[in-house]
Amino acid sequence: MPPERWLADEMLGRLAGYLRFVGCDTAYVRGQADGEIARRAAEEGRFLLTRDRGLAGRVPESLWIRSHEIGAQWGELMVRFPDLPHAVRFARCTRCNGGVRPVTDPPGGRWPDDAPVDRIAAGLAVYRCEACGHLYWAGTHSADVQRRLDRWSGDVRP
């Protein structure tokens, strides 16, 4: 089974974003020393993803990501965790890793200007990050993300 909690180092921000898209609790660290990163992974029970081979060697629950390219990085994750989910779910905020929950009423009484209000009125689900307030709904962006995840995961849908 893939880990429930992850920690991505600063070279892996995009990979962290895609893990959040599939609902994985993924913290992202920037500008911290190796020792701090290793300690946080241990304290929070997070599986470390890093492009630093030396750091990976110091942390038992870790994976050294070799590739620079996001699709290949996802492939490396799939090799290690074949059961890694790859369906987009609105469960973690891709911006801040906060928990994301469905909302029925517009925060502040009004949906943002870019919200598809007609589709929301027709029943399209809207989700809100409990930490930063960012709103999510299924649309062209999430469909593009899903297509990429399918391609990287070798599960191309018709």
Q: Is 96 in the site for Zn ion (CB under 5 A)?
A: yes
Q: Which of 65, 93, 126, 149 binds Zn ion (CB under 5 A)?
A: 93
The amino acid present at 89, given as its one-letter code, is R
Kindly determine how many residues on this chain lie close enough to bind Zn ion according to the rule CB under 5 A: 8
Q: Is 95 in the site for Zn ion (CB under 5 A)?
A: yes
Tokens coding 109: 């009484």
Chain center to CA of 34: 22
Please state the closest distance from residue 129 (CB atom) to Zn ion, in A.
3
Q: Is 16 in the site for Zn ion (CB under 5 A)?
A: no
Q: Is 103 in the site for Zn ion (CB under 5 A)?
A: no
Please state the closest distance from residue 138 (CB atom) to Zn ion, in A.
18
Closest Cα to residue 19, out of 114, 121, 88, 109?
88
State whether residue 5 is helix, strand or coil: strand
Binding-residue pattern over the window 119 to 148 for Zn ion, x denoting contact by CB under 5 A? ----------x-xx-x--------------
CB distance 101 to 128 below 8 Å: yes
Task: Using the minimum distance from each CB to Zn ion, give the nearer residue, 53 or 101.
Answer: 101
Closest Cα to residue 74, out of 102, 10, 3, 82?
82
**DSSP letters spanning 67-109:** -SSHHHHHHHHHHH-TT---S--SSB-TTT--BEEEESS-GGG
Task: Using the minimum distance from each CB to Zn ion, give the nearer residue, 95 or 119.
Answer: 95
Binding-residue pattern over the window 34 to 73 for Zn ion, x denoting contact by CB under 5 A? ----------------------------------------
Residues that bind Zn ion (CB under 5 A): 93, 95-96, 98, 129, 131-132, 134
